[in-house]
Amino acid sequence: MPAVPLHLSGHPDVALTADCGNCFALCCSALGFERSSDFGHDKPAGTACHNLAADFSCTIHARLRSEGYRGCTAFDCFGAGQHVAQDLFGGRSWTAHPEVRASMFAAFPIVRQLHEVLWYLDEAQRLGLSSPAVPDAAAAAVASLVEETVALTRLEPAQLDGVDLEELRGRVGTALKDVSVAVRTAAGGRGVPRRLVPGADLLGADLAGRALQGANLRGAYLIAADLTGADLRWVDLLGADLRDARLHGADLSHALFLTPMQVAAASGDRRTRLPERIEPPAHWRA
């Protein structure tokens, strides 16, 4: 996450980066996971991880990756945790107030998805303000979706279950695509290989040193791909799977719709250039 917490443009009260000190470890309790290469054990949703301490800290935080919990180091709630804990539930923890446990655990996954939507919309909104290539209609559509989504995050917990996330994501996806097309068209992108298309299977692909500026890799499978030294400026990476992708020395300084989770799932180094809103993961510097 950025060294300075990121807030939604125009909404300084809406945080888009996690503040774990003001959350009740909802990612470690409300959500579930299965034992895999990313998680060291099975954990059903609604049960606390056995590595969770009474003060909501992680007893193996410094050793998560070496202990087999690298999935934890790649997770991001986009600020939803502290919003649910402090704003929707007034700072009442699910341990001290067990009566809120069920509703808090039900609210968190929904609000987390809404905050992820806001992360993307915030970037689109900033692009609309900084790039003359973005049409006024596209910028207006993004601004309207921002207000709508913010309003949804402020619903009473009992009302959140009625939010149609799939329908919202569909409209947001269209708006983001319009912004992406405008920005990438203005950035050029000639010479990008034809196989680099949305949803492309690029598992283990050798793209080291390639000039990919302006490509559309939305939803592409870049698992274990070699992107060492690649130019990924103005590349649409919305939903791209970057697990174990090698980003050493790559330029993602203007990559579109990149998230901290994608970056944390990949590997990189001090030469990797990231957007200002994303800090290099701690394990990159280890």
> Could you report the per-residue pLDDT of 57-115, keeping only the tens digit for each?
999 999 999 999 999 999 999 999 999 999 999 999 999 999 999 999 999 999 999 99
SS3 90: coil
> Could you report the per-residue pLDDT of 19-51, keeping only the tens digit for each?
999 999 999 999 999 999 889 899 999 999 999
On the 0-12 / 13-18 / 19+ scale of CB atoms within 10 A, 4 is exposed
> Could you report the per-residue pLDDT of 144-158, keeping only the tens digit for each?
999 999 999 999 999
Q: CA 148 to CA 30: how far, in whole Å?
A: 25
* pLDDT band at residue 285 using 50, 70 and 90 as cut-offs: confident
**pLDDT attached to residue 196:** 81
Q: CA 184 to CA 194: how far, in whole Å?
A: 16
Q: Quickly name the fold that domain 192-286 has.
A: Pectate Lyase C-like (2.160.20)
Q: CA 268 to CA 83: how far, in whole Å?
A: 31
pLDDT for 4 beyond 70: no
**pLDDT attached to residue 180:** 95
Q: What is the mean pLDDT of residues 214-218?
A: 93
Of residues 189 and 126, the one with the higher pLDDT is: 126
Q: What is the mean pLDDT of residues 117-144?
A: 95
Q: What is the mean pLDDT of residues 183-206?
A: 84
**pLDDT attached to residue 70:** 93
Q: Please report, for the chain, the start and end positions of each structural domain, with discontinuous segments joined by +.
A: 192-286
**Residues above pLDDT 90, as percent of the chain:** 89
* pLDDT band at residue 286 using 50, 70 and 90 as cut-offs: low
